[in-house]
Amino acid sequence: MSVLFLVLPLALLASAVAVAAFAWAVRNGQMDDLTTPALRMLEEDTGSSSRSRAKLTNRQAERESSDEKTPE
Amino acid sequence: MLLFGSGDPFDKASDTANVDSSCVQSHRCAHCSLPVPANHVEEGATHQFCCAGCRTVFEVLNQAGLEEYYAFRARLDEQPVRPASVTGRPYAELDTDTFRSLYVKELSSGAREVELALDGVHCAACVWLVEKLPALCPAVQLARLDLGRAVVRVTWDPTVGALSEIARVLDRMGYEPRPARGSSKESQNRRELRRMLLRLGVAGASAGNVMLMAFALYSDALGNMLVETKRFFEWGSLVASLPALWAAGTFFRGAWAAVRTRTPHMDLPIAIGILVGFLWGGHNVLLGAGEIYFDSVTALIFLLLVGRYVQRRHQVAASDAAELMHAVSPATARVEASDGAITERPVDTVAVGDRVHVLSGQIVPVDGLVVQGVSSLDMSFLSGESLPVGVEPGDSVQAGAVNLGSALITVCERAAADCRVAGLMRDVERALGERAPLVALSDRVAGVFTVAVLLLAAATFGYWATIDWSLAVDHALALLIVACPCALGLATPLSLSSAVRQAAARKILVKGGEVIERLARPALFVFDKTGTLTEGRLRLARWVGDPSLRVPVHIAEGVSSHPIAVALRRDLEPASKQASTEWEPRVQSMREVLGRGLEARLDGERLLVGAESFVRKHGVELPPDLEGALTQGLAEGLSPVLVSLGTRVRAIAFVVDPPRADAAESLIALMRRGHRLALLSGDHPDVVRAIARQLAERAGRRELFVDVLGGVTPEEKLRWIRERTLECPTVMVGDGVNDAGALAAATVGVAVHGAAEASLLSADAFLSRRGVAPVVELVRGAARTLRVIRRGILFSLAYNVVGVSLAATGILGPLSAAVLMPLSSLTVITNAYRSRTFARPRRTRGGSRPGERSGSLGVRGELGLDPPGGSRAARTAAPAEVRS
């Protein structure tokens, strides 16, 4: 039974990590809109140069838009 | 397909835009029923299609044997599909400083961010297209669409391009952009929801882990677990439940507030239950003896948080939707400088004495005096008057009126903040602030309940303490847990949020759950007339006199865009095209006298069509029989239009703004439910009385309304409602700026389809379906919801009574109490979510009542006679500006 003494704290630690991840997701607005991202995966990425450039700027701009984080 | 069935979406978008000009009216797409462009029409084919996409869908459906879809679709009470509309507006106001300070966020990188609400986004293709904005508009760095709210967040570089440019691109794609209200409230809502979700997640994780360990402990019922293993699990539970204690902070705050204000509140027994459970559990863990309650306590916290989160989310969504629907840009005014140059400036900056140009179709931006031009103004939103008012140089105009005729030049008399509309808006704000909070049913029950539970727990403890101290704590705690009004706490929020959601699906937007409770009680329903009980659109009611003049008048009225002219032109249209072409060459030199009437020559003789004063001014004689008809018509509340040929009046056309087809039936339905009705309008008292009489006649009653008042100013409306609200609950139903104050002052304000922004802001519920019937549906749904809530409360009370009596006598231990508790919650949740409140199958009862014309008229109202919702929304710009 002594294995419990090791496994239980590990399990709690794992769920703590999960909760931390959840907290990060909530604070970053990942949970604000649950419908659109599901549709976004339908986008075709045909890899034409102009589009991939658009994607790139998208990503950059997303990184810049830092004020989305909740000031706590 | 409304949007982009196939091919390059851009081509299709511009295609749709041009549809109106290039299509043959008689061909409608068999799939999407949009007009088919001329170059797509196939001669002789049974089915016409507007694009290859529609054809494909049509064929797929037919091959699969699903053509029933089209019959099914026709039965839905959906409005007909309208092509994506392109307004072609310049959107210059989006670049103004006023707009920027209201809606635009500056990012640290120098880029700017704005949220725009888009009309017409509804599917994955829209998401795809809108988010391709950076490829179409070099200035845009990022475009992210939230489909649920129909709001796009655009980040752009102001050094590359202006926001108006981006708006024009969106507009060209068929998505009309509007600012998505001030960002402060929005981000406040978002932050609150995020915080609640975070607490919910933490409580859930905690409850789950504690429950796992609790199951291990339950298995020790036979007592064969090693003592140290058991102790270990107990300590683990204690640690794992600590995060839930943090998540329960909102209950502690609520309970503390209840203690401070000395009002019994739901949060109080919850907080006590949680606290006692934790402390006694912790005490037992430390001593290594007795039960621990962490499992039931954490589950309780989690469930309660779920209820609150769901309710809040639905409320935010509903009020978001209502506000987005009519969010408008700050209005601008065309101001003429001393050198004659005309600049578009924000209304705020217009000073007294400035010369302001008001183009045809625009809203008067500030109160002023007309110095040039003759026109007629639609004041219906401002005063409730159904007929336009003519103005000429020297007349004063009020901000918020819509210029229907030709361009006017006015001199500003009052700055935007001092205009009458601004005063009305201040009244609205004051009335909103004064509204008495209603003690929700569940709170009232909970108050009594709280006191009862606390007394019972104390009594149980006192009784058992004489026997055994530890047993006393055990039993009192079992009572607190079993009585913890978990179910009671869930019953109301879940039922309400379920109802709000179902109502939204029926296009009834309710801003808060408590509105539903307020609506369920018998009340005085006060209706506005113009635009609410009536369509807000004129129609020909009767034609008296020479019928041969109908066609010439129809032709002559073609020169004018005055609402009366539009009504006459539409309703006098001859049955055959031939009659029209025959008459056309005989009617000549038509000339509109703005705001008064029109003049033309029929076979060389002078034809005058217009108001009595206009026709009489030309020295035309009124024969006695027509004079009789005129007085009779006036007494009936009709508006006469005199038609004279030569020197004699030959005919009188009476126009009227008729009541909505479903008005009488709906009013009767409200009366049957025990509500009283009143009619309150800014229109002429005769007209108002006539409408009341007409409605009563249609409904087959002598009197429908307990009060009928006409010629009421917005200020009087507000006062009247305020006085009545002191006596009994009132429900105000209206649409105009003039109703906004009354909507705010009433117990419940209901804004109807096409309402002005001001009334949307002050109303508690918004009906985005046309007609009066949704009001009845709202009331019915509210009553049904209250029944569901009562049932839920009854369930949980019954459960509590049984549980508490078992616990008090010591039959029920804390463990079995914890097992029973989720059971009651489950009953209540099922009750709340399974009950149909607003969503109900449409029952067709039409045809069973003889003499009821509402069936066929209803269809006409829905399809053919479509009041221009868009232009009504546009009229609200001025008050919005004033508000800001």
Residue B7 has what pLDDT?
37
Contact A1 B105 (CB under 8 A): no
Residue B871 has what pLDDT?
36
Mutate to test the interface with A, among B144, B200, B220, B294 (most CBs of A within 10 A): B144
Residue B817 has what pLDDT?
65
**B560 phi and psi angles, rounded to 5 deg:** -115, 150
Give the minimum alpha-carbon distance from A13 to chain B in angstroms, rounded to a whole number.
Answer: 10
Residue of chain A minimizing CA distance to B188: A70
Looking at the DSSP bridge assignments, the partners of residue B342 are B336
Contact A35 B236 (CB under 8 A): no
Residue B831 has what pLDDT?
79
Lowest mean pLDDT among A26-30, B558-562, B637-641, B809-813: B809-813
Residue A21 has what pLDDT?
95
* Nearest by Cα to B721 from B751, B748, B745, B752: B745
Give the minimum alpha-carbon distance from A71 to chain B in angstroms, rounded to a whole number.
Answer: 9
Residue B596 has what pLDDT?
72
Residue B247 has what pLDDT?
92
Would you say residue B238 has pLDDT above 80? yes
Residue B844 has what pLDDT?
40
Give pLDDT tens digits for B839-866: 654 444 433 333 333 333 333 233 233 3
**DSSP secondary structure of B744-764:** HHSSEEEE-TT--HHHHHH-S
Interface of B with A in 134-163 (CB under 8 A): 134-135, 141-142, 144-149, 155
Residue B74 has what pLDDT?
65
A28 touches chain B (CB under 8 A): no
B875 touches chain A (CB under 8 A): no
**DSSP secondary structure of B160-205:** T--HHHHHHHHHHTT--EEE---HHHHHHHHHHHHHHHHHHHHHHH
Cα(B474)–Cα(B471) distance, rounded to whole angstroms?
Answer: 5
Please give the single-letter amino acid code of residue B710.
G
Residue A18 has what pLDDT?
94
Would you say residue A19 has pLDDT above 90? yes
B347 HSE (CA, 13 A, CB side): 28
Which residues, 6+ apart, have CB-to-CB distance to B370 below 8 Å? Answer: B391, B392, B393, B394, B395, B396, B397, B408, B409, B410
Contact B194 A27 (CB under 8 A): yes
Cα(B649)–Cα(B559) distance, rounded to whole angstroms?
Answer: 21
Would you say residue B52 has pLDDT above 90? no
Give pLDDT tens digits for B735-790: 877 788 888 888 888 888 777 766 777 788 888 788 888 899 899 888 888 888 88
Identify all chain A residues contacting B134, using CB atoms and an 8 Å cutoff: 54, 57-58
Residue A13 has what pLDDT?
93
Give pLDDT tens digits for B486-543: 666 667 777 877 887 788 778 788 877 778 888 888 889 999 888 888 887 788 888 8
**DSSP secondary structure of B793-836:** HHHHHHHHHHHHHHHHTT-S-HHHHHHHHHHHHHHHHHHHHHS-
Looking at the DSSP bridge assignments, the partners of residue B375 are B391
Residue B483 has what pLDDT?
65
If pLDDT is split at 50, 70 and 90, which confidence band does B77 have?
A: very low
B184 touches chain A (CB under 8 A): no
Residue of chain A minimizing CA distance to B148: A35
Give the minimum alpha-carbon distance from B209 to chain A in angstroms, rounded to a whole number.
Answer: 8
Mutate to test the interface with A, among B113, B130, B141 (most CBs of A within 10 A): B141
Residue B827 has what pLDDT?
77
Identify all chain B residues contacting A19, using CB atoms and an 8 Å cutoff: 201-202, 205, 243
Residue B858 has what pLDDT?
30
**What SS3 state is found at B330?**
coil
Token digits of residue B829? 């949740």
The top-scoring range by mean pLDDT among B123-127, B400-404, B707-711 is: B707-711
B803 HSE (CA, 13 A, CB side): 31
Buried b (16+ CB within 10 A) or exposed e, B843-869: eeeeeeeeebebbeebeebbeeeeeee
Cα(B786)–Cα(B499) distance, rounded to whole angstroms?
Answer: 10
Give the minimum alpha-carbon distance from B203 to chain A in angstroms, rounded to a whole number.
Answer: 10
Give the minimum alpha-carbon distance from B760 to chain A in angstroms, rounded to a whole number.
Answer: 25
Strand residue runs (E) in B11-80: 23-28, 35-37
* Nearest by Cα to B428 from B739, B767, B727, B765: B739
Identify all chain A residues contacting B219, using CB atoms and an 8 Å cutoff: none
More confident residue, B754 or B165: B165
Q: Residue B353 burial by CB count (10 A; 0-12/13-18/19+): exposed, middle or buried?
A: exposed
Residue B625 has what pLDDT?
84
Q: What percent of chain B has pLDDT over 70?
A: 80
Residue B18 has what pLDDT?
39
Identify all chain B residues contacting A46, using CB atoms and an 8 Å cutoff: none
Residue B197 has what pLDDT?
93
Kindly report the length of chain B.
Answer: 884
Mutate to test the interface with A, among B209, B220, B316 (most CBs of A within 10 A): B209
Q: Residue B71 burial by CB count (10 A; 0-12/13-18/19+): exposed, middle or buried?
A: exposed
**B525 phi and psi angles, rounded to 5 deg:** -90, 120
Strand residue runs (E) in B341-388: 342-346, 355-358, 368-372, 375-378
If pLDDT is split at 50, 70 and 90, which confidence band does B423 have?
A: confident
pTM of the model: 0.64
Give pLDDT tens digits for B353-370: 888 888 877 778 888 889
Cα(B859)–Cα(B863) distance, rounded to whole angstroms?
Answer: 6
Would you say residue B302 has pLDDT above 80? yes
Would you say residue A61 has pLDDT above 70? no
**What SS3 state is found at B651?**
strand
What is the helix (H) or strand (E) element at residue B2, kind and residue range?
A: none
Helix, strand, coil percent content, chain A, rounded in steps of 5: 70, 0, 30
A69 touches chain B (CB under 8 A): no
Please state, rounded to an integer, the average pLDDT across all residues of chain A. 69
Would you say residue B35 has pLDDT above 80? no
Give pLDDT tens digits for B716-725: 888 898 888 8
Kindly report the length of chain A.
Answer: 72
Would you say residue A48 has pLDDT above 60? no
More confident residue, B25 or B340: B340
Lowest mean pLDDT among A39-43, B46-50, B243-247: A39-43
The top-scoring range by mean pLDDT among B111-125, B770-784, B815-829 is: B770-784
Cα(A25)–Cα(B312) distance, rounded to whole angstroms?
Answer: 20
Q: What is the mean pLDDT of residues B371-380?
A: 81
Would you say residue B231 has pLDDT above 70? yes
Lowest mean pLDDT among B109-118, B344-353, B476-485: B476-485
Contact B198 A26 (CB under 8 A): yes
Would you say residue B83 has pLDDT above 60? no
Cα(B389)–Cα(B425) distance, rounded to whole angstroms?
Answer: 23
Identify all chain A residues contacting B106, using CB atoms and an 8 Å cutoff: none
Q: Residue B313 burial by CB count (10 A; 0-12/13-18/19+): exposed, middle or buried?
A: middle
More confident residue, B774 or B347: B774
Q: What is the mean pLDDT of residues B82-110?
A: 73
More confident residue, B69 or B690: B690
Closest CB from A5, A42, A65 relative to B142: A65
* Nearest by Cα to B740 from B367, B416, B421: B421
Closest CB from A1, A66, A70 relative to B108: A66
Q: What count of other Cβ atoms lies within 10 Å of the Cβ of residue B824? A: 25
ipTM of the complex: 0.71
Residue B857 has what pLDDT?
31
Q: What is the mean pLDDT of residues B321-333?
A: 59
Q: What is the mean pLDDT of residues B582-598?
A: 76
More confident residue, B248 or B471: B248
Please state, rounded to an integer, the average pLDDT across all residues of chain B. 76
B322 close to B176: Cβ distance less than 8 angstroms: no
**What SS3 state is found at B223?**
coil
Identify all chain A residues contacting B147, using CB atoms and an 8 Å cutoff: 33, 35-36, 39
Identify all chain A residues contacting B236, using CB atoms and an 8 Å cutoff: 8, 12
Q: What is the mean pLDDT of residues B793-818?
A: 73
Residue B105 has what pLDDT?
81
Q: What count of other Cβ atoms lies within 10 Å of the Cβ of residue B10? A: 14
Q: What is the mean pLDDT of residues B171-180?
A: 79
Residue A56 has what pLDDT?
46
What is the helix (H) or strand (E) element at residue B587, kind and residue range?
A: strand B587-593
B678 close to B635: Cβ distance less than 8 angstroms: no
Q: What is the mean pLDDT of residues B820-827?
A: 70
Residue B209 has what pLDDT?
92
Residue B661 has what pLDDT?
84
**What SS3 state is found at B110?**
coil
A41 touches chain B (CB under 8 A): no
Token digits of residue B529? 């007339």
Q: What count of other Cβ atoms lies within 10 Å of the Cβ of residue B783? A: 15
Would you say the C-alpha torsion B132, B136, B142, B143 has a positive or negative sign? Answer: negative
Identify all chain B residues contacting A4, using CB atoms and an 8 Å cutoff: 229, 232
Cα(B371)–Cα(B365) distance, rounded to whole angstroms?
Answer: 15
Residue B199 has what pLDDT?
93
Would you say residue B437 has pLDDT above 70? no
Give the minimum alpha-carbon distance from B142 to chain A in angstroms, rounded to a whole number.
Answer: 5
Q: What percent of chain B has pLDDT over 90?
A: 4
B364 close to B398: Cβ distance less than 8 angstroms: yes
Mutate to test the interface with B, among A33, A48, A60 (most CBs of B within 10 A): A33
Contact A65 B229 (CB under 8 A): no
Give pLDDT tens digits for B190-203: 888 899 999 999 99
Would you say residue B107 has pLDDT above 50? yes
Interface of B with A in 97-136 (CB under 8 A): 105, 107-109, 111, 113, 123-124, 127-128, 131-132, 134-135
If pLDDT is split at 50, 70 and 90, which confidence band does A64 have?
A: very low
Looking at the DSSP bridge assignments, the partners of residue B766 are B509, B751
Residue B243 has what pLDDT?
92
CB pairs under 8 A between A and B: 107
B372 close to B343: Cβ distance less than 8 angstroms: no
Please give the single-letter amino acid code of residue B561.
S
Q: What is the mean pLDDT of residues B68-74?
A: 71
Q: What is the mean pLDDT of residues B305-320?
A: 73
Cα(B181)–Cα(B642) distance, rounded to whole angstroms?
Answer: 47
Residue of chain A minimizing CA distance to B189: A32
* Nearest by Cα to B114 from A14, A39, A65, A15: A65
B755 close to B763: Cβ distance less than 8 angstroms: yes
Give pLDDT tens digits for B650-689: 888 888 888 888 888 888 988 888 889 998 887 878 888 8
Identify all chain A residues contacting B186, using CB atoms and an 8 Å cutoff: none
B226 touches chain A (CB under 8 A): yes
Q: What is the mean pLDDT of residues A9-25?
A: 93
Strand residue runs (E) in chain A: none
Mutate to test the interface with A, among B131, B154, B210 (most CBs of A within 10 A): B131
Mutate to test the interface with A, among B129, B146, B153 (most CBs of A within 10 A): B146
